[in-house]
Structure 1
């Protein structure tokens, strides 16, 4: 198992593969960050 783990650590991924992994493993933004962005967008749309 140690040999398999060491070999797995030597894997090379393309930029496309890394981007796909980044996209599916993105952690959702926590409160209150998402709420502040949502409210800022709401205020921006009502100030015209």
Structure 2
């Protein structure tokens, strides 16, 4: 999950155009992912799952 942070950050910056806001979005995404980790199906694409949050 942590390996995806640079990709999530780049995507968030492209969405909002603000680095600080992008970092907030990434943090919120990581928290939501952690809270809902039980809904992730092992063996599926973690990157795709993270980008849908």
> Which structure is higher in RCO with an 8 Å CA cutoff and minimum separation 6?
2
- After TM superposition, the score normalised by the length of structure 2 is 0.34
- After TM superposition, the score normalised by the length of structure 1 is 0.37
The structure with the larger Rg is 1
